[in-house]
Amino acid sequence: MELYEAMSTLRAVRRLRSDPIPDDVLDRVLQAAAWAPSGGNVQPFRIVVVKSAEKLKTIQSWYQQEWDRYIEPLRSLASSSDDVAAVNSGKIVKAGDYLANHLAEVPALLVFCFNPAHMAITDADLNRPSVVGGGSVYTAVQNVMLACRQEGLGCVLTTLLCYQEQAIKQLLDIPEQWGTCAHIPIGYPVLKGHGPISRRPVTKLVFKDSWGQPLEHS
Ligand SMILES: Cc1cc2nc3c(=O)[nH]c(=O)nc-3n(C[C@H](O)[C@H](O)[C@H](O)COP(=O)(O)O)c2cc1C
C-alpha cells in the first residue's frame, strides 16, 4: 500500500472480528514496532501480546468500567442534536460501546510498556505535564498501526486502561519499574475497517516563523 494512502485512511477501527491473525502477519506488525526510532536508540518499550481468552475477559471488564465512566457525560451530548459534531460523537459512542462489549473477543491485544529509567526525559522538570518520554514509545505504536493498515487489520490506540495500570501489571506480570501507555486491540474488521478520516486542515496546524503566521510558500 502506498504510504500516504495508508496514513490518510488509518482511522480508529473498533469493531474487530475474532478470527485469528496468522503468525507471520502478527510477526510483521511487531517487526514494524521494533523499527521505530527512540531517544538514544534505547528502545525503552516492550509489548505484551495478550491472546489468552481468560486474561482478555478480565481486561475487558476493566476496560468496560473505564469506558462507561469516560463516555457517560458525552452520551447525552451525542444524542442532543443532529448537527455534524453530535452525529460524529454518536458514531464514536456506538463504535466505542461495541469495543467495550467485545474486547475479550479480539485475537490480540498489544499492551505497550515503557521504562522511564531508560529514557532521557528532557521536559521532566518543566512546570507542565511531561510528554517527551512518550515519544520513544508512540513512534512504535504508530508503526504498529500503519503495519496493521498494510496487513488489512483493524486497530485502535486506546489509553483508558492506564487507569487500571496496577491491575494490568499484576495480571501480565509486568515488572515494577515498567509502566503501560497504550493498549491496542487488533483484528480483522467487522465492517469496512479503515477509510476516510476527518482532520483539521494543515493551515490550522502549521505556522511559519512565528506562532499563528500562515505557511505561505514564495
Ligand atoms: C492518545 C490516544 C488515546 C486514545 N484512547 C482511546 C481509548 O481509550 N478508547 C478508544 O476507543 N479510542 C481511543 N483513541 C482513539 C481516538 O478516539 C481516535 O483516534 C480519534 O477519535 C480519531 O478517530 P478516527 O481516526 O477514526 O478519525 C485514542 C487515541 C489516541 C491518539
For residue 211, tell me if it sits in a domain. Answer: no
Overall average pLDDT of the 51-68 stretch: 98
- Which residues have C-beta atoms less than 6 Å from ligand 1? 11-12, 14, 92, 96, 99, 156-160, 197-198
Domain that holds residue 133: 3-205
pLDDT value of residue 87:
67
What's the predicted TM-score (pTM) here? 0.96
* 216 domain residue, yes or no: no
Supply 180's cell numbers: 503501560
| Cβ contact 139:34 at 8 Å | no
Q: Report how far Cα 56 is from the mean position of its chain's Cα atoms.
A: 17
In a domain, residue 103? The reply is: yes
In a domain, 174, yes or no: yes
pLDDT digits (tens, 9 = 90+) for 74-97: 887 766 666 766 667 788 999 999
Per-residue pLDDT tens for 159-184? 999 999 999 999 999 999 999 999 99
Cell of residue 52, nine digits: 489468552
Q: Which atom of ligand 1 is nearest to the CA of 10?
A: 25
- Give the per-residue pLDDT at 82: 67
Q: Tell me the per-residue pLDDT of 183-192, one tens digit each, with 9 for 90 and over.
A: 999 999 999 9
Residue 141: give its domain's CATH number: 3.40.109.10
Which of 20-24, 52-56, 109-113, 213-217 shows the lowest per-residue confidence on average (mean pLDDT)? 213-217
Mean of pLDDT values over 62-73: 96
How far is Cα 121 from Cα 40, in angstroms, rounded to an integer?
11
Closest residue (by CA) to atom 16 of ligand 1?
Answer: 12
What residue owns the CA closest to ligand 1's atom 8? 158
Number of domains in the chain: 1
Residue nearest to atom 13 of ligand 1 (CA): 158
- Across the chain, mean pLDDT equals 95
